[in-house]
Amino acid sequence: GVADVAVKLLDSSGAVVATTVTDAEGDYEFGGLLAGDYTVEFVKPLSFADFSPAGTGSDTSIDSDVTTPANGKTGVISLGAGEVNNDVDAGLYQLASLGDVLWFDTNGNGVQDADEPGVAGVTVELKLADGTVVDTKTTDAVGNYLFTDVMPGDYEVAFTLPNGMAFTATDQGADDSKDSDVAGDGTVAVTLTSGQNDLSVDAGILPAEI
């Protein structure tokens, strides 16, 4: 739960009839209400990117109910006399980032050793599960790349293999920050959570051989 979020209760005319703030667990409550139509408005904290999509999943008690993220408002909620509705929720998320380095695996051991340089000018694509390209980067002078302001979710990172090269072995050694994560086709599946900064998605390349 997210604490200290301002929440407003609006009547059918759009007038604010009550305000409150979420507690340490993110809970809030408006009590003593007359039967009628209401809307709940959540004020998005600056530390979050946006509200989560509404109505996701089959359990309405744990989904987000903000239908207009631009103003943090839910749809109309109709309350009967004596009715209790504890399912009016709002989800918030932070943007994520991912990146690391493409390096030349000079000894072919699948691990980036201290003397092995990064490779500049290589195209790296960030794709959705259906193959749609979300963003494209090019490795810098030391082989680094970075995707920022990424929505949480499932992605594929695809490295374009330079001519005459092959990708080195995957998941070698005990240090995940120094191994190569891509398969032979230069891709790796990545899941990003809200606010995550994943700087461990590496790729090593070495000369192809016959």
Q: What is the pLDDT of residues 137-161, one digit of tens each?
A: 999 999 999 999 999 999 999 999 8
Task: Give me the pLDDT at residue 49, please.
Answer: 94
Specify the residue for token string 């979300």.
134
Q: Which amino acid, 65?
A: D
**Predicted local confidence at residue 12, as pLDDT:** 95
Over residues 191-204, mean pLDDT: 95
Q: Enter the pTM of the model.
A: 0.80
- Bridge-based pairing state of the strands 197-198 and 96-104: parallel
pLDDT of the residue at 209: 64
Region 111-130: what's the mean pLDDT?
Answer: 93
Residue 210: its pLDDT value, please? 57
Strand partners, 111: 179
CA dist., res. 58 & res. 132, Å (int): 27
